Amino acid sequence: MQSKLRILSVSGSSFNPFIWILDKEIASDDFHVDSGINVFWDRQQPYDIIQIHWPEWIFNSAKERFWDKEFGQRLTETLCRWKKSGTRIVFTRHDERTHYVKGDDIRTNLFDIMESEADAIVHLGYFSRNQMFDCERLRDKIHAVIPHHTYDTLYPHSVSQAEARQALGIDAKFKVILTFGVFRDEEEVLLTKNAFEQLDDPDKYLLAPSWYHNTWNDYRNNHSIHKGSSWLGTGIVDRNMLPWCFAATDVVFIQRLRNLNSGNFPMAFFHNKTVVAPAIGNMTEYMDNINNFSFDPFDPSSVLSALQKGLARANYPQVNETYASEHWNTAKICEQYRQLYRQLIDGTKRSKPVSGVPFA
């Protein structure tokens, strides 16, 4: 009888369910999955696959602080030692670089190291895959396209809009625009603020649970919403509240300007909501069909136009939920990861995406 493949999931976060859902669901009769940071550095146990998502977390969570000029060498040496023992390295490319790092932050080299040392790079969309495949030094690697899963194993799907609004204290008359997730810089704040205030609708309502962020002085006073109704929250949303926010809304507005991906897409699709998002990165692959609208994040008229179109379509029959259920359900995404792991252990390589599906 063939033994289980042993997987070590290195990156992790207590507040982000993306990874621990995958870890739990990938584990099966043929796959044993452990998670942790220190075991990666200690190398005391054998593993067939090392799975790394956000590489900066390797250092943020390690028992030692490796933020020094030698951090790159330590990471490269550790990865090479794993590979010499027969372990295969898989890197899931969520971002191009650490979010909004400025200057010569030493974390910028983390991604170069992971891309160079990985045996396989997982992309959440074809934009990312094509971007990397055009790089000559990375063409000999497996490039797998595996989309972001929905949270169908975690969140309830039975909450109605009326129930959610009653629970959140939002009147039924409002056209609710949800911007979810922490605002990472002032540009994202102004993008959302300006679009909302320019929207000519007396019943508009902005639901921004993570609007206020404690990294900017006088943030609350300088960036208050002056027109329309709103609920502006103060930080990370409790996981139990998340599905109620999405259920209560009419349109999900993605406020990112430079991201490669956004986890708000699968959540919005899962709750069958219209999405208004920037035409950047992998996000372009989901947009500009009958239900979703893209914009140029640096063109205010484009942003406002997309938001107006999204609100106009909010009450029409949706197909986002059907698409997400068919292509992004957790069981299917986990099987695509298993297929990639098997392919790596079998020693076969191919340049085209593994188990990738066309986007809407």
Q: Could you report the per-residue pLDDT of 3-17, keeping only the tens digit for each?
A: 799 999 997 555 678
Predicted confidence at residue 356, as pLDDT, reads 45
Q: What is the mean pLDDT of the chain?
A: 84
Q: What is the DSSP letter of 359?
A: -
Residues in Cβ contact with 197 at an 8 Å cutoff, skipping those fewer than 6 apart:
225, 226, 227, 228
Let me know: does 248 contact 205? Beta carbons within 8 Å: no
Q: Find where tokens 């349109």 sit.
A: 251
Predicted confidence at residue 79, as pLDDT, reads 95
pTM of the model: 0.89
Look at residues 20, 250, 271 and name the one whose alpha carbon lies nearest to residue 156.
Answer: 271
**Sign (positive/negative) of CA torsion 96, 102, 103, 108?**
negative
Predicted confidence at residue 355, as pLDDT, reads 45
Determine how many CB atoms are found less than 10 A away from the CB of residue 241: 13
H or E stretch at 50: strand 49-52
Predicted confidence at residue 24, as pLDDT, reads 94
Beta strands in 65-174 (DSSP E): 88-93, 120-123, 142-145
Q: Find where tokens 């859902």 sit.
A: 21
Q: Could you report the per-residue pLDDT of 244-287, keeping only the tens digit for each?
A: 999 999 999 999 998 899 999 899 999 999 999 999 999 988 77
Q: Find where tokens 């039975």 sit.
A: 158
Q: Would you place residue 360 in the very low, low, confident or very high pLDDT band (cuts 50, 70, 90)?
A: very low
Stretch 27-45: mean pLDDT: 90
Give Cα separations from 323 to 150, 248, 268, 327 (angstroms): 11, 21, 11, 6
User: Torsion angle of alpha carbons 221, 225, 230, 232, nearest 10°?
Assistant: -40
Q: What is the DSSP letter of 149?
A: P
Residue 350, pLDDT > 50, answer no
CA distance 53 to 199: 38
Q: What are the structure tokens assigned to 174, written together?
A: 């409002």
Residue 311, pLDDT > 50, answer yes
Q: Which residues pair with 34 in a beta bridge?
A: 8
Residue 223, pLDDT > 70, answer no
Q: Which of 38-52, 66-80, 214-228, 272-286 has the lowest average pLDDT?
A: 214-228
Predicted confidence at residue 267, as pLDDT, reads 92
Residue 188, pLDDT > 80, answer yes
Stretch 221-246: mean pLDDT: 76
CA distance 311 to 175: 7
Residue 101, pLDDT > 80, answer no
Look at residues 169, 185, 157, 58 and name the one whose alpha carbon lies nearest to residue 111.
Answer: 58
Domains and CATH numbers, the chain: 5-149+329-346 (3.40.50.2000), 161-324 (3.40.50.2000)
Let me know: does 333 contact 146? Beta carbons within 8 Å: yes
Stretch 98-126: mean pLDDT: 79
b/e per residue, 112-139, with b = 16+ CB within 10 A? Answer: ebbbebbbbbbbbbbbbbebbbeeeeee
What is the identity of the amino acid at 333?
I
Q: How large a percentage of the chain has pLDDT more than 70?
A: 83
For residue 291, how far is the Cα from the chain centroid? 20
Residues in Cβ contact with 104 at an 8 Å cutoff, skipping those fewer than 6 apart:
none
H or E stretch at 113: helix 108-117
Residue 181, pLDDT > 90, answer no
